[in-house]
């Protein structure tokens, strides 16, 4: 077996950051020059694939653990990048960028955020494949953390993949516009792909940690592997409080409300309406359908609606993370 390639530091932190910066800035230059969104998400997903393959080959450690973890990341990245590219090619553009695409610094800000996302979330694999960990030897593949990591990743990847496929097929079937998607996994969770993604990265970190739990790493190597816990935590924070649930929940709620009350673009307290006034009556059942769906469907963790409905509100708020910040009411301005 060849010696690992040492580049800039023993943990491959600098080289992976430089590669990510270069790749994302190239993507930004193309997207800004041609003012389109075709490669934006594809560049993010494919960056994970590049870092996984690069660190595996540079580290020259073809232990089953390194190979499996690298393949898992590459499989996750391939599915994500491929699906998002297919979706944007079908739709023609990404409405998320309509207000920033023509503003240089605002648009660049998205790409800088993508640099941070890719590099931080890739840390468990980056450190696992680095000479600082591989040169000290590893426990045989098949430890409890290996098995748990594989299970978490497999469940997460399956949920994410199936949920995206179910949503695509549902939209292609021309469903009623006044009803939220409630087929398959979407009947058990309002955002199953987010739950699947969180599980995937907990699985990757758990799969990568065996050298520090049962091997003989140096103190700095163990600290680096434990510090890579920032990857699944960052994923959770991003999806729970950043570009995930907060930007998905409120626009959907407002869209269904405006279907029922199209003149009420800003909204007023629905409870204060005079139901005898024809102008205050809903045009359709869209808002009522959405409220019913939201009341019986977990925001993240998939579970049967009959179970979710029966749970007390404090469990939904604290354990299942259906926080008040995600709710949109007709009193609020447009989101």
As beta bridge partners, residue 7 has 9
Is the Cβ–Cβ distance between 114 and 51 less than 8 Å? no
3-class DSSP assignment, residue 189: strand
pLDDT of residue 93: 64
Task: Please determine, for residue 292, whether its predicted confidence score (pLDDT) is greater than 50.
Answer: yes
Cα separation, 290 vs 46, whole angstroms: 35
pLDDT of 264 higher than 60: no
Higher per-residue pLDDT: 87 or 27: 27
| Confidence tier at 30 by pLDDT (50, 70, 90) | confident
Query: Between residues 136 and 31, which one has the greater pLDDT?
Result: 31
Structure-block tokens of residue 253: 């709620």
pLDDT-derived band at 97, boundaries 50, 70, 90: low
Classify residue 44 as exposed, middle or buried by CB count within 10 Å of its CB (0-12, 13-18, 19+): buried
Q: Which residues contact 104 (CB under 8 A, 6 or more apart)?
A: 32
Range scoring the smallest mean pLDDT among 12-21, 137-146, 264-273, 283-292: 264-273
Region 158-176 average pLDDT: 92
pLDDT at 299 over 60: yes
pLDDT in tens, 188-247: 999 999 999 999 999 999 999 988 887 666 678 888 889 999 999 999 999 999 888 998
**Mean per-residue pLDDT of the chain:** 87
Pairwise CA distance, residues 164 & 47, whole Å? 21
> Which residues 6+ apart lie within 8 Å of 173 measured at CB?
none
User: Of 64, 66, 42, which is closest to residue 54 (Cα–Cα)?
Assistant: 66
pLDDT band at 180 (very low <50, low <70, confident <90, very high): very high
Closest-CA residue to 132 (of 69, 182, 70, 58): 58
The DSSP line for 277-298 is: SGGGS-SSSHHHHHHHHHHHSB
Beta bridge partners of 254: none
Q: Which long-range contacts (CB under 8 A, 24 or more apart) does 226-234 make?
A: 227/123, 228/123, 228/124, 228/126, 228/127, 229/205, 230/120, 230/123, 231/120, 231/121, 231/122, 231/123, 231/124, 231/201, 231/204, 231/205, 232/198, 232/201, 232/202, 232/204, 232/205, 234/117, 234/120, 234/121
Longest dimension (CA), the chain: 81
d(CA 60, CA 54): 10
pTM: predicted TM-score of the whole model, two decimal places = 0.89
Between CA 147 and CA 128 the distance in angstroms is 17
Q: Each residue of 98-148: pLDDT tens digit?
A: 666 667 788 788 889 999 999 999 999 999 999 888 777 788 889 999 999
Q: SS3 of 7, please?
A: strand
Q: How long a stretch of residues is the chain?
A: 335
Q: What is the pLDDT of residue 215?
A: 65
């Amino acid at each position: 077996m060849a010696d690992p390639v040492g580049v800039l530091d023993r943990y491959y932190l600098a080289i992976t950051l430089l590669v990510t910066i270069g790749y994302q800035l190239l993507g930004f230059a193309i997207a800004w020059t041609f003012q389109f969104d075709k490669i934006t998400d594809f560049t993010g997903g494919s960056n994970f694939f590049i870092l996984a393959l690069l660190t595996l080959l540079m580290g020259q450690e073809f232990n089953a653990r390194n190979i499996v973890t690298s393949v898992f990341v590459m499989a996750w990245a391939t599915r994500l990048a491929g699906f998002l590219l297919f979706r944007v090619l079908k739709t023609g553009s990404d409405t998320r960028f309509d207000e920033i695409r023509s503003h240089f610094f605002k648009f660049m800000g998205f790409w800088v955020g993508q640099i941070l996302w890719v590099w931080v979330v890739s840390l468990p694999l980056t450190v696992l494949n680095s000479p600082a960990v591989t040169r000290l030897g590893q426990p045989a593949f098949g430890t409890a953390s290996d098995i748990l990591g594989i299970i978490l990743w497999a469940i997460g990847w399956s949920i994410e993949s199936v949920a995206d496929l179910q949503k695509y097929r549902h939209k292609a079937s021309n469903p009623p516009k006044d009803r939220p998607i409630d087929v398959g996994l979407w009947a058990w969770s309002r955002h199953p792909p987010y739950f699947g993604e969180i599980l995937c990265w907990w699985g990757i970190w758990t799969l990568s940690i065996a050298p520090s739990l049962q091997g003989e790493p140096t103190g700095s190597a163990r600290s680096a592997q434990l510090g890579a816990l920032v990857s699944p935590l960052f994923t959770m924070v991003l999806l729970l409080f950043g570009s995930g649930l907060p930007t998905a929940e409120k626009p959907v709620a407002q869209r269904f409300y405006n279907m029922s009350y199209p003149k009420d673009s800003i909204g007023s307290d629905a409870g204060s309406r005079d139901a005898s006034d024809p102008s205050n009556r809903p045009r359709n059942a869209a808002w009522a359908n959405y409220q019913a769906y939201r009341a019986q469907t977990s925001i993240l963790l998939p579970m049967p609606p009959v179970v979710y409905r029966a749970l007390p509100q404090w469990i939904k708020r604290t354990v299942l993370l259906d926080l008040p910040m995600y709710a949109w009411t007709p009193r609020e301005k447009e989101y």
